[in-house]
Amino acid sequence: MPLATINGIQLNYQVKGSGDLVVLIMGTGSPGRVWELHQVPALVAAGYRVCTFDNRGIAPTDECADGFTVEDMVADTAALIEHLGGPAYVVGTSLGARVAQELSLTRPDLVRRAVFLAAHGRRDTLQKYLSEGERELDRKGIVLPDSYRAAITAVLNLSPASLVDPMAAQDWLDIFAFSKGETTPGVRAQQNLDDFGDRLPAYGRITVPTLAVGFADDRLVPPTLAAEVAKAIPGSRYVELEDCGHYGYLERPDVVNSVILDFLSGS
């Protein structure tokens, strides 16, 4: 991925394909290359030029460990789209959905259409307690055993449908057990963006075409929150996908990709 000075930071990004620009925005703690598994190939095959990038907080993009705001991340994405000759179609998941939602609100000139996976304009009580618990573990330096951490990750992020088959469940657990590294200062700064109030009234001013996607078995961002976002935005669409947890775009990529492609094409 090339590094470029974008919005005053060094930002790591990659572009594949040709055609209309699509920018993919990843969620908390994950690099942009996660999109490469399923979404980038589908979008490139459909004739799009696709940009993935590491949000601030995720090396080798500047970690900005002293802290930053969602507004900073929105400005990063806006500057990247301008750097690439936008406007662009924008797809974000989880924290990336929040960035895409705020970008659609503040810079509609840069957004042709936007898809919000695991959309949310506020947090519910369980999310608040879970986030605070994770921060407390980090403050106390408590490291969970790999097997237990993998199991908790699976329960929180996957649909039960993905764990029915013992071999498939073992594959997921192995991935989670070996893929989680130390929480870096940059990731910690992303995790601290959880408390943001209620943005739903503001989303009533979004004018670009949008699609909010809820994952039916999402425990981290319940689909009711995604439905609220669609209801708040005039003319927005809402789709709820079955047998999907928070990682629905990895669990059922063909279904998620079809929803994204249909909406971007105006269907």
Contact between residue 220 and residue 90 where contact means Cβ atoms under 8 Å apart? no
Cβ neighbours around 219 below 10 Å, total: 16
Q: Is 218 a catalytic residue?
A: yes
User: What is the C-alpha separation between 121 and 179, in angstroms, rounded?
Assistant: 29
Q: Is 83 a catalytic residue?
A: no
Give the chain's length.
Answer: 267
Task: Considering the candidates 54, 62, 76, 218, report the single residue annotated as catalytic.
Answer: 218
Task: Considering the candidates 30, 62, 159, 246, report the single residue annotated as catalytic.
Answer: 246
Cβ neighbours around 191 below 10 Å, total: 17
- Residue 142, classified by CB atoms within 10 Å of its CB into exposed (0-12), middle (13-18) or buried (19+), is exposed
User: What is the C-alpha separation between 115 and 172, in angstroms, rounded?
Assistant: 26
Q: Is 66 a catalytic residue?
A: no
DSSP codes of every residue in 126-165? HHHHHHHHHHHHHHTT----HHHHHHHHHHHHS-GGGSSS
User: What is the C-alpha separation between 197 and 113, in angstroms, rounded?
Assistant: 25
| Nearest CA-CA partner of 25 in 53, 6, 59 | 53
Phi, psi dihedral angles at 252 (to 5 degrees): -130, 65
DSSP codes of every residue in 184-220? -HHHHHHHTT------HHHHTT--S-EEEEEETT-SS
Task: Considering the candidates 30, 94, 104, 131, report the single residue annotated as catalytic.
Answer: 94
Residues with catalytic roles:
94, 218, 246
